[in-house]
Structure 1
Amino acid sequence: MNEHIFGNLAGTRNIIGTWRTGCNKQRPQTSLGGLTSTAALVLTAAPFLPRLCSTKAPLG
Structure 2
Amino acid sequence: DKHYALTSFKPSVDDNVIGCFKEFDIGTDPSTGSDICFPPTPIDLLAYMFWPQ
TM-score of the pair, normalised by structure 2: 0.23
**Greater relative CO (CA pairs within 8 A, separation 6+):** 2
Kindly indicate which of the two structures has a greater share of residues assigned to strand. Answer: 2
TM-score of the pair, normalised by structure 1: 0.22
Kindly indicate which of the two structures has a greater share of residues assigned to helix. Answer: 1
Larger radius of gyration: 1
